[in-house]
Amino acid sequence: MDKDNLEGLIRRALDVRLKAYAPYSGYLVGAALMTSTGKIYTGVNIENAAYPDGICAERVAVFKAVSEGELHFDAVVVATANGGSPCGSCRQVLAEFGLDTRVYLVDQTGALALATTVAELLPGAFRPEHLGK
Ligand code: THU
């Protein structure tokens, strides 16, 4: 991913973050996922009064993309107040679609907190291969 693409993806994550529905935690998260075909799908965390029914921004972005037939992801930018890291469930969902997806964590100013990969975030991931797929 070149510098312009990354800056654009960061901008999308920062912008969509403001649409997060997080009245309980107050912790807004925005995700922008770039497919290998160059399309961008965004997501926000969506909380619920029944707390466990909320969902993270990263999974919203992945599920939106997959529901449009996209299965290959180059990169995801996750924007939070403080550069927070994806939860275990989001790591697992990302791992389903590739360990090489690059993951960029940024704070609310867009400053890069960490550049990593799904493989680094979830060593030893349970994968489709384990089910013979
Ligand atoms: N959250 C995300 O959206 N992504 C993560 O990977 C970590 C946590 C959300 C879930 C919840 O709405 C809020 O952040 C606080 O946990």
Q: Around Cβ 74, how many Cβ atoms within 10 Å?
A: 17
pLDDT tens digits along 62-80: 999 999 999 999 999 999 9
For the entire predicted model, the pTM comes to 0.97
- How high is the pLDDT of residue 18? 98
Distance 1 CA to ligand 1 centre (A): 25
Ligand 1: does its nearest atom lie under 6 Å from the Cβ of 80? no
Which residue's CA is the closest to the ligand 1 atom numbered 13?
A: 27
Residue with token string 């799908």 = 41
- How high is the pLDDT of residue 1? 83
CATH number for 3-131 (one of 3.40.140.10, 1.10.10.10, 1.20.120.450, 3.40.50.300): it is 3.40.140.10
Domain boundary assignment for the chain: 3-131
**Active-site residue, 68 included:** no
Ligand 1: does its nearest atom lie under 6 Å from the Cβ of 70? no
Assess contact for 56 and 89: CB atoms under 8 A: yes
**Catalytic position from the list 58, 68, 70, 120:** 58
Which residue's CA is the closest to the ligand 1 atom numbered 1?
A: 56
Taking the C-alpha atoms of residue 32 and residue 119, their distance in angstroms, rounded to an integer, is 19
pLDDT tens digits along 1-56: 898 899 999 999 999 999 999 999 999 999 999 999 999 999 999 999 999 999 99
pLDDT tens digits along 91-119: 999 999 999 999 999 999 999 999 999 99
